[in-house]
Structure 1
Amino acid sequence: MERILLREGIAENLRFMVLEVTKQVENTKKALDHYDQKIMDSIASRDDYIDNLKSVVENKCFTAIHTQRAQDKRAVDLVRAANTVANNLERVGDFAVSIVGQIKYLKSQSFIQRYDYPRFFREVLDALDMVYQAVVKQDLSLAFKICRAENTLDMLYKVQFDRILYELRSGKETENLITSHLILRYLERMGDAILNIGEAIIFAAVGEKFKIRQYHALKETLALSGIDTPISDVEFHSIWGTRSGCRIGYVPSAAQAPEEGGEGEDASRKKASAGVLFKEGNKKKLLQEMENIMRWESILPGLPPRVLAHQEDATQASLLIEFLGGCNFQDVVLTGDPEVVKNAFFLITETLGNIWDQTLAETQARSHFMEQLRGRLDDVFRLYPSLDTPPMYVGNLEVPTIAALIDEAQAIEETLLAPYTVFIHGDFNCNNIVYDHETQRVHYIDLHRSKQADPLQDISVFLLSNFRLPLFDAHLRARLNSVTMAMYHFAKEYGLKHGDACFEARLAIGLARNFISSTRFELNPKFARELFQRGRYLLMKIAAHKGRPWEEFSLPEQVLVY
């Protein structure tokens, strides 16, 4: 693959750039060691040459990609990585210029020498020395060493920063201390650029963008699972990054450890497994998900994916999770044969009923729908400020603001307690339900929000996950509407059977939450307004019913149909 860099002239110019930036850094150290205006002028003048080299590399990279000379993904990834490397080399050069610009503010040129800046320079220069070979060979070992320089520079900076902070308290040498701090800070920022270079090389070698901590997490978690495969041989496909900040990727079965014998359902799951999912992110959320997976497994074995391995540090964690066969229910509804959709929905409701029966606790609970909506309203208005309307009047009749409607609904909601709780999914979107036609099973995924709560938390989310899809084809809408209404009637029947007299009122409040909050993810203004106004309509219906028995409240079913 390195031939693409050689053929396009990218490697040659990148090599010149590494040499030139290295020279800039070396000369910067010389200028700090012994004040030399000639060297300082040279550093400033050579910065333009580095900028030009960066532009040349950038243009050659874009040309290679857009003229399709880089014809496969790995070649394109390498060219993209080379461009990132060039951009960050230029940043290192800029920081060298910034350091030289600070020297003139030192009242005593020797003052900076009381701090251990030569160690900073050694780390930077050692990293730069590895860059060219690491890029053209996609050498993960060198890339890792390059990344490690950033951590070392951070630690060096922390020691010197603490010392300068202490010395500033004396009130002496203030100008020299501040200038010395800025010089050391620019050296530390060189480390940030060097880290970007190392991570770009990892991207070229692995084929996915990894932060160095994510690379370590994947490597260590695969090892813990018994998958003894060099990380460079692992095929990794990024699936998505969640709104919670988790990185999720798919590692195909070629990288899996061989399974040993075994019969029955567990063995069939192993055979059917097509790979593993790697999740990396916030420690608290991922450990909560792992705990919830174990709880779900105890409730209904086989419902959640298995956790194959996990590892954690102070703030981050990673999980290796079984990749389940089948497809998510949203895809089934939109593309499946009607009989398949019917069968999948039957399995989902049968599973849901079993879970509710097993976990039902006859303890009253508040739903907190309006409290949850308040936390999302700013994001709604940030995207659609026109929806945040002031109070209006029609004659003497006041049209309440959305804030006033939420206030009133929240006060009402405090009196509408769920008569029982069940263990809920917590994010019961259609695409978090996996249907496996071959095994006739459904599975739940993305389980970090699971808890004991009002089942209408899940039902309201499920109903809106169908409605809010921006699909306007009549045939597809009919499919979505059919599933939505079927789930509504299933949940209503279960609620009435178990004495949930205010089911429809609570569901109306829950749906209002979801209609309104869903607008923050909808970029079609017309459809976003449709969602918002339906939520507003439900809040007005709730407010209008105040003072009458909530058992008599009737949810207008047409609000669920589009």
Structure 2
Amino acid sequence: MNRKGYRKTLQEKVELSVAMDVRRRKVDGPGFQQAKSLERLARLLDQLGQACLDFTDIRALRAAPDKHFKPYAKLIRRIRKSLALVLINPEDANTRQGLKLGRRVAKLTASLDEVSGPADSDPGQVLHFQIHRMIHLLSEIADALLAANFGPAVRLQNYKQLRNAAHAFADESDSFGVERLALTRSGSTIAALRAEHEASSEVMAVYKEGQASKVLEEISGVDQWKKVYPKVAPSVISHNVEHEDELGSMVIEHLPGRTLESLLLNSQWDLAGILVNKLGKTLRKIWKSSSTREHAEPGYMQQLRKRLPETRQTHPDLFSEAQTICGLVRPDFNQLVDRAENLENRVRAPFSVLIHGDFNVDNLIYDELKDRIYFIDLHRASYSDYVQDLSVLMVSIYRLPLLDESARTEMRALVSQLYRFARRFAKSRDDASFDTRLAVALARSFATSTRFIYDKRFARRLALRASFLLESVTRLNPDKLETYRLPLEDIFSD
């Protein structure tokens, strides 16, 4: 109690030392991860110290009979002994201490669950809560010890799965590394499993962790693609799903190459053009081999309506209300959505194909050496309208944050290349309503994309395109739906 100020001083010393160390290193350089892990450990130890100190402020315990303390006395001593395992050495891997502490945590949790009786009283409930809090912090410290060695994606819960996956590719040793690849909007973890700790070592597989239902959906999606066109989908090496309402994880094959997003952001236009050309040939084969006679009903406006609340939360005043200009009435956005939904029923796709479902630029990989296309993140795979994948890809190219004129010109050329390929395919399959459906699908993609764009001027450009497309197609004469042509240049020119 008398040294609580010194505890804070120690934490501040660690934070200052880490900050100075980080300034000398690159963010992605060697040692940065370890420095941040040590800072995390110091923060957790400080929280555990505060949890210990909080016992002294519980007045109800001072007047409580000794019988309330006895069931917890052994647990408190075991927690104190567990702290002896937290020996942090920057030169040491800390893995063994983390695993030992993890085993202690599991036993402590089981012992706490067995305690009964005193927990029903007020002092007992307070003790129960505080000890549970301390055990949880010990668990966090065990995770932090592992993360100091393997990276922030590694925890007690997934260490065994990752180690087993590493052993499937290399000799049985604990020498493997895990590097986070992406920070996703959904909160899922995506990390590279490497043969060694160094970032330069070979990537063996990709680890994905997220909502268990999404993990199961992706496994199902991979299975569908493996049956139809196995060349484009990664293999699932292992997965772990215990309960659908909890976190699940999977280890999948690492696919060589670079994403279309990476090529575009690095202005590699020639290679991006080759990718799009290869993609067209690949999609033609996939659409032909997976085609069924069932009419596709993607429900673009239903999808849009479902996402509009989130979209309006980002930009409350982006989608206009009804306007009257010199006697000319312009309907509000909700009316346009309703009219377009009625239109969808008259221009259904004449067949269904296997689609990706989330066909963004970061889910397409091109291996230049083997001249092969790969698809990743397949949890939304289904049989539907091929126009859906096309519209998502076209808009994901348009919304990339490349605003100089030369880059926009190159991106517009890629979108035009995609459109020409798809239109030739539609003509070969007598798909007369292709352009009308694409206009509706593009409107949906433009509108829903605004929830990811925080530059209001750019978001408005997307919203205006969505409104323009919906107004255009909903004003069409019903007898001329099949003669409509998408004004591609107007939509994708800035």
Q: TM-score, normalised by structure 2?
A: 0.88
Matched ranges for 1:461-476 at <5 A: 461-476=392-407
Give the SS at the match of 2:317.
helix
Aligned match of 1:246: 188
Cα distance in 1 for partners of 2:27, 2:287 equals: 53
Structure 2 equivalent of residue 213 of structure 1: 157
Secondary structure at the residue paired with 1:434?
strand
- Residue identity opposite 2:170 in structure 1: I
Q: CA deviation at 1:336?
A: 7.0
Q: For the structure 1 residues 181 and 359, does the alpha-carbon distance in structure 2 shift closer, same or farther, using more than 3 Å as the test?
A: same
Match of 1:34 in 2: none
Is this contact kept in 2: 1:277–1:322, CA < 8 A?
yes
Could you tell me the percent identity over the aligned residues? Answer: 25
Q: 1:194 aligns with which of 135, 138, 157?
A: 138
* Residue number in structure 1 paired with 2:465: 534
What's the CA shift string for 1:279-320, capped at 9, x where partnerless?
233333233323332332332342222333444434444333
Alignment of 1:437-456 (within 5 A): 437-456=368-387
For the Cα contact (< 8 Å) 2:94–2:145, is it kept in 1?
yes
Determine if the alignment matches structure 1 residue 84 to structure 2 residue 43.
Answer: no
**Which sections of structure 2, spanning at least 5 residues, go unmatched?**
none
CA deviations over 1:371-397 (Å, ceiling 9, x no partner) = 222232222222222325554443655
Corresponding residue number in structure 1 for 2:77:
122
Consecutive unaligned residues in structure 1, runs of 5 or more: 1-42, 168-176, 256-272
> SS in structure 2 opposite 1:236?
strand
Corresponding position of 2:493:
561
Decide whether aligned partners of structure 1 residues 136 and 381 sit closer, same or farther in structure 2, where only a CA change above 3 A counts: same
1:279-428 superposed matches below 5 A: 279-314=208-243, 315-333=246-264, 340-387=271-318, 389-394=320-325, 397-428=328-359
Structure 2 vs 1, CA of residues 228 and 340 (structure 1 numbering), >3 Å: closer, same or farther?
same
SS at match of 1:240: strand
CA drift of 1:538 comes to 1.5
The 1:145/1:252 distance shift into structure 2, 3 A limit, reads closer
2:432 counterpart letter in structure 1: A
Give the structure 1 partner of residue 13 of structure 2: 56
Q: Does the CA contact (< 8 Å) of 1:222 and 1:320 recur in 2?
A: no
CA deviation vs aligned residue, 1:434-475 (integer Å, no higher than 9, x gap): 222222222222222111111111111111111111212222
- 2:173 matched residue in structure 1: 230
Helix, strand or coil at the partner of 2:470: helix
Measure, in 2, the Cα distance between the counterparts of 1:514 and 1:282. 24
Shift of 1:164: 7.1
- Aligned-residue RMSD, C-alpha: 3.0
Name the stretch that deviates more: 348-357 or 540-549: 540-549
CA distance in 2, matches of 1:238, 1:50: 32
Question: Which is further off, 394-403 or 423-432?
Answer: 394-403
1: CA distance between counterparts of 2:26 and 2:192? 25
The change in CA–CA distance for 1:363 and 1:283 in structure 2 (over 3 A counts) is: same
1:164-175 to 2 correspondences below 5 Å: 167=120
**TM-score in terms of structure 1 length:** 0.78
TM-fit CA distance, 1:515: 0.5
Rounded Cα–Cα distance in structure 2 between residues aligned with 1:397 and 1:178: 71
Residues 170-189 of structure 1 aligned to structure 2 (within 5 Å): 177-189=121-133
Who is 1:108 aligned against?
Answer: 64
Runs of 4 or more above 6 Å deviation: 69-72
Summarize the Cα distance change of 1:554–1:163 in structure 2 as closer, same or farther, 3 Å threshold: farther
Q: Shift of the alpha carbon at 1:419?
A: 1.3
Counterparts of 1:308 and 1:195, CA distance in 2: 28
Question: Are 2:87 and 1:132 equivalent residues in the alignment?
Answer: yes
Displacement, 1:140? 0.6
Q: Is the Cα–Cα contact under 8 Å of residues 288 and 448 in structure 1 kept in the other structure?
A: yes
Q: Is the 8 A contact 1:433 1:442 kept in 2?
A: yes
Relative distance call for 1:243 and 1:339 in structure 2 (3 A) is: closer
Distance 1:164 1:544 in 2: 73
- Shift, 1:510, TM fit: 1.0
Partner SS, residue 411 of structure 2: helix
Q: How far is the alpha carbon of 1:90 from its aligned partner?
A: 1.6
Partners of 1:553 and 1:201 lie apart in 2 by 62
Distance verdict in 2 for CA 1:294–1:434, change over 3 Å: same
The CA deviation at 1:274 is 5.8
Secondary structure of the structure 2 residue equivalent to 1:420 = coil
Q: What one-letter code is carried by the residue in structure 2 that aligns with 1:302?
A: K
Match of 2:147 among 174, 183, 203: 203
Shift of 1:398: 4.7
User: Across the two proteins, how many residue pairs are aligned to each other?
Assistant: 487
Would you say the 8 A contact 2:147–2:155 is kept in 1? no
- 2:364 and 2:373 in contact (8 A); partners too: yes
| Structure with the larger helix share | 1
